[in-house]
Amino acid sequence: MSQANVEIVRAATDAWSVGDMASLRELYDPQIIVQPLTVWPEPGPWIGTEAVIRAWEWQREALGEQTLGSTSDFVHAEDWVVVTQRW
């Protein structure tokens, strides 16, 4: 399962970077919950695929066509995938 989790996170990063929100939507579990940082301008949590996609679409509008790049390896640890990313 570890490599499968890494590939899902990698695919999500790639989908975001090319603006493929439909592919990104398909990668998420329907019960996804995203809790943004407390300094984030839009409060969370964002619960469910549609809420998360709406938040990401808002970000794409606000930030423009910026890509999401990984600055480290994708590391699998138990049920988590850890990677440092940058806009």
Closest Cα partner for 58 from 40, 75, 73, 74? Answer: 40
- Digit-coded pLDDT (tens) for 29-84: 999 888 888 888 888 899 999 999 998 888 888 877 666 666 667 778 777 777 77
Domain tally, the chain: 1
Q: Count the neighbouring beta carbons within 10 Å of the beta carbon of residue 66.
A: 13
The structure tokens listed for 14 are 């790639």
CATH number of the domain encompassing residue 27: 3.10.450.50
The structure tokens listed for 82 are 């850890």
Instruction: Please tell me which residue, 85 or 81, carries the higher pLDDT value.
Output: 81
Contact present, 10 and 74 (Cβ < 8 Å): yes
Closest Cα partner for 50 from 31, 64, 35? Answer: 31
Structural domain of residue 50, as residue ranges?
2-86
